[in-house]
């Protein structure tokens, strides 16, 4: 099914924080990068919260515990309790607990977040393949995870021990740029063993289930920076999403997105939770997809996307999304967008 951009909540010109009861916010690339708050995040979240929106922080990063994440957010000026944090470690621990006996040993390749989540489910974390584990779980362990940990995983997986991964994000944003994520580490074990793990994190159903169970959200809005995890996870969960352009996704990737990677809303940063989303209007044309937003009009031509007008660059991008996704349909848009994005300065 083709998915089209929508730039305002259905039936309302309200801001998103008024139209949705809960924001399910990704952390890396959305709220912070490399430990520092992203511009406008602290004040935007404070305003959304004061307006009655529940804020929950949903991360595929399994390294830290919810307590540690909550403490970090609070230090950044975003008051947060551990119950407001949902991690892929919690999602994978629930998945494992449903498939192995209570009290079973689980070989951990990762950080303290995984160990705490497993204990919460009555499972015993162990460090060696020789500890007779009933399962192997792999999560992001930070830049200092020893190479020998991957060997331990391979020893157990190669002899048939069930293998789980908190998530398979290939990259993770940081203060110095994009670094390898847990998905890159999972590939090491996959290549060495030929096995396939069960994966819990975004965009897969176990993570969405964990999030809804822990937050009780009735009308959630997923907020993220990644098309292949945050936005696809919202698509799979059949809930609306907001893409912010503060992380790994750039404008060209957004325009080329297939239906499952198309967000409901697009904004520059978390200020998008507060502002009314401008309308995108389809215009009559010569058979080509043609849309207007603000002072910009975008057209999907025979070979390229085109944009003309002036005003806020983000409005031009929204119009381009509508044109690109309409023209591309279920296959995604393969039209050249370089000239149009240059015109917008994106």
Q: Which residue out of 21, 28, 67, 315 is catalytically annotated?
A: 28
Establish whether 21 is a catalytic residue: no
User: Which of 249, 111, 91, 267 has the alpha carbon at shortest distance from 164?
Assistant: 91
DSSP 21-90: SEEEE--BTTTEETTEEPTTHHHHHHHHHHTT-EEEEEES--SS-HHHHHHHHHHTT----GGGEEEHHH
DSSP 209-256: HHHHHHH--SSEEEEES-IIIIIHHHHHHT-EEEEETTSS--HHHHHT
Q: Which residue out of 26, 230, 240, 315 is catalytically annotated?
A: 26
Q: Return the DSSP state at 298.
A: E
Token reading at 346? 């994106």
Establish whether 286 is a catalytic residue: no
85 contacts: CB under 8 Å, gap ≥ 6: 56, 57, 59, 66, 69, 70, 73
Burial 321-346 (b: 16+ CB within 10 A, else e): bbbbbbbbeeebbebebeebbebbeb
Residues with catalytic function: 26, 28
């Amino acid at each position: 099914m083709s998915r089209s951009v929508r730039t305002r909540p259905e039936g309302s010109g309200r801001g998103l924080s008024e139209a949705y009861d809960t924001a399910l916010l990704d952390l890396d690339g959305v709220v912070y990068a490399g430990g520092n708050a992203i511009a406008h995040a602290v004040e935007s979240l404070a305003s959304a919260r004061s307006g009655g929106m529940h804020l929950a922080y949903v991360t595929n990063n399994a390294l830290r515990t919810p307590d540690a994440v909550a403490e970090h957010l609070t230090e950044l000026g975003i008051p947060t309790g551990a119950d407001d944090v949902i991690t892929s470690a919690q999602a994978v621990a629930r998945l494992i607990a449903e498939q192995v006996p209570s009290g079973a040993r689980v070989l951990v390749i990762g950080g303290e977040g995984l160990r705490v989540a497993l204990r919460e489910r009555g499972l015993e974390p162990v460090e060696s393949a020789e500890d007779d584990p009933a399962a192997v779980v792999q999560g992001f362990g930070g830049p200092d995870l020893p190479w020998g940990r991957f060997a331990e995983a391979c020893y157990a997986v190669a002899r048939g021990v069930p293998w789980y991964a908190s998530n398979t994000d290939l990259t993770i944003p940081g203060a110095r740029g994009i670094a390898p994520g847990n998905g890159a580490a999972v590939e090491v074990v996959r290549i060495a063993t030929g096995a396939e793990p069960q994966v819990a994190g975004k965009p897969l159903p176990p993570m969405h289930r964990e999030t809804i169970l822990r937050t009780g959200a009735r009308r959630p809005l997923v907020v993220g920076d990644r098309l292949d995890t945050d936005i696809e996870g919202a698509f799979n969960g059949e809930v609306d999403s907001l893409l912010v352009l503060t992380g790994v996704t750039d404008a060209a990737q957004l325009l080329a997105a297939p239906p499952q990677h198309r967000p409901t809303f697009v904004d520059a940063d978390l200020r998008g939770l507060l502002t009314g989303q401008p309308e995108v209007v389809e215009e009559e044309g010569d058979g080509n997809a043609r849309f207007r937003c603000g002072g910009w009009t975008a057209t999907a031509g025979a070979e390229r996307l085109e944009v003309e007008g002036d005003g806020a660059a983000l409005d031009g991008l929204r119009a381009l999304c509508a044109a690109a996704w309409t023209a591309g349909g279920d296959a995604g848009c393969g039209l050249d967008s370089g000239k149009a994005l240059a015109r917008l300065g994106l």
